[in-house]
Amino acid sequence: MYGSLKGVSGGPRQPSATVKTRRRKRWGGLRQQWKMLGLFPIDPHHEFHGLTCMMKEGLAAAIQSTIDTPPMNNRIDEDFKMKDSQIHKGFTLQTYAGHVFASFRSALGMTEREYQLSLCSPSSYLQFISNSKSKADFFLTNDKRFFLKTQNKREIRFLLDNLKIYMEHLRKYPHSLLVKFLGVHKIKIPHKKEKYFIVMQSVFYPDDRIVARYDIKGCEVSRWTEPSPEDHQVIVVLKDLNFQGQYIHLDQQRSWLLCQMEIDTDFLRQLNVLDYSFLLAHQPLHNDERPHGLSFGSLIMRTKNPGGGTELDEFLVHNRRLLPNFKNPLHVIDGPEQRYFVGIIDIFTVYGLRKRLEHWWKRLLYPGRSFSTVSPPAYRTRLCEWVKDHSK
């Protein structure tokens, strides 16, 4: 099954000893740079080397099957329930709704060969050391374009149960801020606990010029992260309290962002979820980029319902981003001076009994303070207000 991975590289000739030496020096320098940024190459001595090798081998074969047999354009209900298993030496990779995700990747303008090249490159994955409280493991492709994240069975089931309406939302709002899920898989290793993982498009891509990154939840309890020292380059994802006194400067693009936040968070409210994050990063625009900022030509119309109110479902939104040849257009928006990377992630926390009890406990623990565990309508309203209050 691993032969398909060899096909990705096209079977090049073996490099000479001199080329290998130069390559080792170059990767050695990159590895040192990545470690400074909190990214660790998963080399043969890394604890996750075996797992990520299985991920690569399994994904190469799974993606090859959609290259060889492209999915039909029309999706049927059975496609969302499909499970394909491919047996490899020492493990089995199971792919969920493979044709649905392949069609979605195509709709994003991504070829299967391109996707395979990134996920199955001979270069090692990078482990991202997150300051998140999540117990998940985060891996990044070597080109930093895609995240692979381990998830528990409940989270995977939630995503698959809601996959159809998630895809319908993104079809209706192609410039949605919601994170783009590109694949769901499970690795089964004999006599070991099975591993579920998802593949996502990185919001922060390309990241070579990003100055600061934030994870925003719209509250104050546990929402401060100690910044990295000025003489260090370690990637630290900052939080709400770190953003105090700052603004997202968008000018004409602000109305679009606020509108899309309302639409996407209302969708999450309908799913009864909370504790999701608004990811934000920024970098300065170069002088030659400012006259041609990545912007929108947007027409936003509201239609009144019979009761006189405004229903989000009745928004007519037509966005035309002017993003020629840009690598990640769905999560980028330009202001006059800064380029912003924006997205909504971590949409798996359902407001069930456990979260309701946690809400009441935190009300006693933090009287008069804002914390993340509130009802989905309250969470949505508060996060939208944060973006509104911190943008110009």
Same-domain status, 28 and 119: yes
Look up the CATH number of the domain holding residue 346: 3.30.810.10
For residue 31, what pLDDT is reported?
Answer: 52
Write down which residue in 144, 179, 201 finishes a domain: 201
Domain that holds residue 163: 3-9+16-201
For residue 121, what pLDDT is reported?
Answer: 94
Each residue of 171-219: pLDDT tens digit? 999 889 999 999 999 999 999 999 999 999 999 998 889 999 999 999 9
For residue 8, what pLDDT is reported?
Answer: 42
Contact 50, 43 (CB under 8 A): no
Question: What is the DSSP code string of 46-89?
Answer: STTHHHHHHHHHHHHHHHHHHHHSPPPSS--HHHHH-EEEEEET
Domain presence at residue 207: no
Domain presence at residue 160: yes
Same-domain status, 166 and 262: no
For residue 75, what pLDDT is reported?
Answer: 79
What are the 10-residue block averages of pLDDT along the chain, 392 residues in total? Answer: 39 51 53 59 93 97 95 85 96 97 93 97 89 78 95 96 96 92 97 96 91 96 87 82 96 90 97 97 86 48 45 43 54 90 96 96 94 96 98 96
Same-domain status, 175 and 273: no
For residue 128, what pLDDT is reported?
Answer: 85
For residue 296, what pLDDT is reported?
Answer: 47
Each residue of 117-172: pLDDT tens digit? 999 999 999 998 765 666 789 999 999 999 999 999 999 999 999 999 999 999 99
For residue 281, what pLDDT is reported?
Answer: 96
Same-domain status, 70 and 113: yes
Domain presence at residue 250: yes
Total number of domains constituting the chain:
2
Same-domain status, 146 and 272: no
CA separation for the pair 25, 37 (Å, rounded):
19
Domain presence at residue 273: yes
For residue 276, what pLDDT is reported?
Answer: 97
Domain presence at residue 41: yes
Same-domain status, 281 and 164: no
CA separation for the pair 209, 128 (Å, rounded):
18
Looking only at the bridges linking them, the beta strands covering 126-128 and 138-140 are antiparallel
Contact 219, 380 (CB under 8 A): no
What is the chain's Cα-based Rg? 22
Same-domain status, 358 and 244: yes
Amino acid at 86: Q
